[in-house]
Amino acid sequence: MNGGVIDTGLIDMILLAFLVAITWAIVRLRDLFGAVMLTGIFSLISACLFMVMDAVDVAFTEAAVGAGISTVLMLRTLALTKGRSEPHHNRLELGPLLLVVVIGAILIYGTFDMPRYGDPQAPVHTEMAARFIEQSGEEIGIPNIVTSVLGSYRGYDTFGETTVVFTAAIGVFLLLGVPRRGRRAGDALRNDIVLRISAKALIPLIMVFALYVQFHGDYGPGGGFQAGVIWAAAIVLYTLVFGLARAEKIFRRRPLELLVAGGVLLYGAVGVVTMALGGNFLDYDYLASDPVAGQHYGILLIELGVGITVAAVMVALFFLFVRRRQV
Amino acid sequence: MVDVGLYNYWAVIVLMMTGLYVVIARSNLVKKLIGLNVFQVAVIMFYISIGKVDTGTAPILEEGIEAYSNPVPHVLMLTAIVVGVATIALALALVVRLYGAYGTIEEDEIAEMDAAEEL
């Protein structure tokens, strides 16, 4: 690259070195709370790295999921299991160490046959991806190629992934949905005036931003998955600051459960409608007289379905973990 | 531009193996899941590394731009992240239930209790 352009190769190497240092700290640390917080930092730096590698949509998702929702769920699990630190000594164990060194060496040996990082002539770029980049503008008519591939070319895949999210949520419902007696989680943060006021200012902005990410995903980075987790992050913040009782008054259990299923059903329904109109399952060309307009409607609807299910699943999972009482 | 060469893949493999080490060597179930999470992010990073093109930019069509990074790994990985958090939540729920049943989340202590019960 020419002068004046930021050297992304260097940034890439530095961020990766950070990540290696953080994982090393995770291995050495006996304090579980610290390890969970480090995982959150790990995710945030990963998101920066995805940004450097041009994967803007992935960076979005990782920042909201890794640094936000999964960290909160892990912390809640620690609180429920009274886990503070590991009881055993943290010395390096030779057997597992030998095993991962051998596997790692084999994998590194394998990379010698790979094209170098960033090689434009790598086989992975020349076949399917080249076609998507050249044709999606005409065929689908939206600028964000990631959304075109996600919503239309690989719509089956995305339907499958959404169903997996739904299924995992059913699993957690079954495991943690059983009511039990015990101490209810306190709303300790409610009395902190700085937190309360800044949360009140932030939450509407986060929610509006989530809607923007949802409906602008055709033109810029974004889409249903990202919007869903960002929207859920706003509710998680609300619940952390104002307590579960108030959050559950706004987001009642029954509608939330219906939304978990509703998003997947909307996605599937779009597929059934395209079949009724004479096309294949999820072939949006048939949704309007003009195929490109049909693609627009189709992607808008299925992204909405994805957004609804993902947001509802994340909020429901979080509520289940918080509702669970300590013994 | 610093030539990254294969460094990117190697660093990702180191991360992957560190995650795997935690999964195998630690007996605390939450720590195992943290290791699994690191492993998962490393795999995702490997795919995204493959998708990067030197002169490319984010795959959003724009006048005057000639090269884009590969959008296909991006699609596959962004859904994998959301599926990943849903499955980690399922695993954490299992940990919570195991604690309810055994009163501990150390794998070796759970195994000892099971062994004592069989005798």
Q: Which of A54-68, A79-93, A108-122, A135-149 has the lowest mean pLDDT?
A: A79-93
CA distance linking residue A85 with residue A192, whole number of Å: 28
Residue B22, Cα to own-chain centre: how many angstroms? 12
Question: Rounded mean pLDDT of A176-205?
Answer: 77
User: Which residue in A81, A124, A146 is closest to B95 by CB distance?
Assistant: A81
Angle at A271 between CA A227 and CA A137, to 5 degrees: 65
CA distance linking residue B41 with residue A55, whole number of Å: 14
pTM of the predicted protein model: 0.91
Question: In Å, what is the CA distance from A213 to each residue of A206, A217, A307?
Answer: 10, 6, 10
Question: Rounded mean pLDDT of B16-27?
Answer: 94
Work out the pLDDT band at A86, boundaries 50, 70, 90.
confident
Q: Is the pLDDT of residue A184 over 90?
A: no
| Inter-chain touch B93–A154, beta carbons under 8 Å | no
Q: Is the pLDDT of residue A190 over 70?
A: no
Chain A CB contacts of B64 below 8 Å: none
Q: Which amino acid is at A129?
A: A
Residue A193, pLDDT score: 86
Q: Which amino acid is at A266?
A: L
Question: Rounded mean pLDDT of A115-124?
Answer: 88
Nearest-neighbour CA in chain B from A62: distance (Å): 7
Nearest-neighbour CA in chain B from A156: distance (Å): 12
Q: Is the pLDDT of residue A122 over 60?
A: yes
Q: Is the pLDDT of residue A2 over 50?
A: no
Residue B71, pLDDT score: 93
Q: Which of A167-176, A183-192, A208-217 has the lowest mean pLDDT?
A: A183-192
Question: Rounded mean pLDDT of A104-110?
Answer: 95
B29-85 per-position pLDDT tens digit: 999 999 999 999 999 999 999 999 888 889 999 888 888 999 999 999 999 999 999
**Which residue of A81, A98, A148, A321 is the best one to mutate when testing the B interface, meaning the one whose CB has the most B CBs within 10 A?**
A81
Residue A4, pLDDT score: 47
Q: Which of A74-88, A247-261, A265-279, B20-34 has the lowest mean pLDDT?
A: A74-88
Work out the pLDDT band at A1, boundaries 50, 70, 90.
very low
CA distance linking residue B117 with residue B119, whole number of Å: 6
Residue A68, pLDDT score: 84
CA distance linking residue A68 with residue B119, whole number of Å: 45
**Tokens representing residue A85 in the block:** 């630190």
The gap between the terminal CA atoms of chain B, to the nearest Å, is: 66
**Residues in contact with A262: Cβ distance below 8 Å, sequence separation at least 6, in sequence order:** A305, A308, A309, A312
Nearest-neighbour CA in chain B from A158: distance (Å): 7
Q: Is the pLDDT of residue A178 over 80?
A: no
Residue B116, pLDDT score: 92
A60-71 per-position pLDDT tens digit: 899 988 888 999
Q: Is the pLDDT of residue B4 over 90?
A: no
Work out the pLDDT band at A111, boundaries 50, 70, 90.
very high
Work out the pLDDT band at B1, boundaries 50, 70, 90.
low
Nearest-neighbour CA in chain B from A161: distance (Å): 7
Q: What is the value of ipTM here, to two decimals?
A: 0.93
**Which residue of B41, B82, B88, B102 is the best one to mutate when testing the A interface, meaning the one whose CB has the most A CBs within 10 A?**
B82
CA distance linking residue A223 with residue A309, whole number of Å: 13
Residue A186, pLDDT score: 57
| Inter-chain touch B25–A13, beta carbons under 8 Å | no
**Tokens representing residue A42 in the block:** 């790990």
- What angle, rounded to 10 degrees, do the helices at A8-28 and A32-52 form? 170
Strand-pair partners of B60:
A144
Residue A183, pLDDT score: 57
Percentage of residues of chain A with pLDDT beyond 70: 93
Of the candidates A282, A287, A262, which has an alpha carbon nearest to the alpha carbon of residue A271?
Answer: A282
Size of interface A-B (CB pairs under 8 A): 305
Q: Among residues 18-77 of chain B, which lie with CB inside 8 Å of chain A?
A: 18-22, 24-28, 30-31, 33-35, 37-38, 41, 44-45, 48-62, 67-77
**Residues in contact with A173: Cβ distance below 8 Å, sequence separation at least 6, in sequence order:** A257, A316, A320
